[in-house]
């Protein structure tokens, strides 16, 4: 028998065997994936055993999106978006740097995630990925998104959906209190234009003080007058104006606990 003919049949046999093995491995892997798709495994360190909990809603990655509002370099309010994603990991906070982020917003993100961990059933077995979207902005800074980051992270950790009718601005402190920010009027207008019902602001910031430029005539002597430019403080009740002119409800909050019902249901 021709040697080449024998070698050809040997090669065909080997390739057929490899194909059958690959097909078997593929279907075997699929069976394993389907077998664990509805289960979440947690290591029980106290008893050195592994608990198996069926929970189809807790599958990674977990992702939550929340609106954020800022003031652009042109002085206009801008509504953007923040996405918080949880993946299995080692308790790292990872931030997408496109667009570029200033150090203060990175510091704020770490504080917000820490606050969320303390208020959730967290096992220190996840990484937190934060992705900021703010229109065409190439650089994002400031700590005013701290409260929003904390709320979105809590929703992700507790695997709860977020409502889509409110926006919050405010810094976050380690004890969960919400701190003051700037640009409240500009942000409120942007939130109203985007169609949201509620705008949550730090305690005491629904009444806004701004400075109105005025020309004042003052006597100079010998019958002459001069014109002086002055900035006169004016106080605005933003709650009233926003409701009457924009249909927006301004709500003051001092803590994360006060803000959560506007974003997370029972």
145 contacts: CB under 8 Å, gap ≥ 6? 68, 70, 82, 105, 108, 132, 169
Q: Is residue 123 part of a domain?
A: yes
Q: Is residue 225 part of a domain?
A: no
Domain co-membership, 102 together with 148? yes
What are 60's two structure tokens?
Answer: 């990674």
Domain co-membership, 104 together with 15? no
Q: Give the CA distances from residue 119 to residues 3, 82, 163, 164, in Å, rounded to whole numbers and listed in that order.
A: 75, 20, 19, 22
pLDDT recorded at residue 53: 38
Domain co-membership, 82 together with 196? yes
Q: Is residue 235 part of a domain?
A: no
pLDDT recorded at residue 208: 87
pLDDT recorded at residue 227: 81
The one-character DSSP state at 136 is T
Per-residue pLDDT of the chain (266 residues; tens, 9 = 90+): 556 666 666 667 676 766 665 555 545 544 443 443 333 333 333 333 333 333 344 566 899 999 999 988 888 899 999 999 999 999 999 998 776 778 888 899 999 999 999 999 888 899 999 999 876 666 677 899 999 999 999 999 999 999 999 999 999 999 999 999 999 999 999 999 999 999 999 999 999 887 888 888 888 777 778 888 888 888 889 999 999 999 999 999 999 999 999 999 76
Domain co-membership, 28 together with 104? no
Say what the pTM is. 0.72
Domain co-membership, 251 together with 123? yes
Could you tell me the CATH number of the domain that includes residue 80? 3.30.230.10
Residue 82 belongs to what domain range?
62-202+242-262
Sign of CA dihedral 107, 113, 118, 122: negative
Q: Is residue 232 part of a domain?
A: no
Q: Is residue 98 part of a domain?
A: yes
Domain co-membership, 82 together with 175? yes
Domain co-membership, 8 together with 79? no
Domain co-membership, 69 together with 188? yes
Helix, strand, or coil (residue 37): coil
Please count the structural domains in the chain: 2
Domain co-membership, 27 together with 83? no
């Amino acid at each position: 028998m021709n040697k080449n003919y024998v070698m050809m049949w040997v090669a065909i046999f080997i390739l057929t065997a490899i194909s059958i093995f690959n097909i078997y491995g593929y279907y075997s892997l699929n069976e394993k994936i389907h077998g664990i798709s509805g289960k979440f495994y947690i290591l029980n360190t106290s008893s050195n055993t592994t608990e198996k909990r069926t929970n189809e809603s807790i599958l990674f990655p977990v992702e939550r999106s929340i609106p954020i509002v800022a003031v652009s370099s042109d002085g206009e309010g801008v509504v953007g978006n923040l996405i918080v994603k949880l993946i299995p990991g080692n308790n790292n906070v990872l931030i997408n740097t496109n667009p570029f982020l200033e150090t203060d917003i990175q510091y704020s993100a770490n504080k917000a995630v820490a606050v969320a961990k303390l208020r959730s059933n967290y096992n220190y077995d996840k990484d937190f990925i934060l992705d900021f979207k703010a229109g065409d902005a190439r650089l994002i800074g400031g700590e005013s998104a701290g409260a929003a980051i904390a709320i979105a992270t809590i929703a992700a950790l507790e695997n709860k959906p977020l409502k889509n009718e409110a926006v919050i601005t405010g810094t976050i402190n380690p004890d969960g209190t919400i701190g003051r920010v700037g640009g409240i009027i500009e942000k409120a207008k942007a939130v109203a234009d985007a169609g949201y019902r509620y705008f949550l602001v730090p305690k005491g910031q629904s009444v806004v003080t701004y400075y109105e430029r005025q020309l004042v005539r003052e006597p100079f002597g010998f019958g002459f007058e001069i014109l002086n430019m002055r900035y006169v403080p004016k106080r605005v009740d933003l709650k009233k104006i926003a409701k009457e002119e924009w249909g927006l409800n301004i709500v003051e909050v001092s803590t994360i606990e006060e803000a959560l019902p506007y974003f997370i249901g029972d």
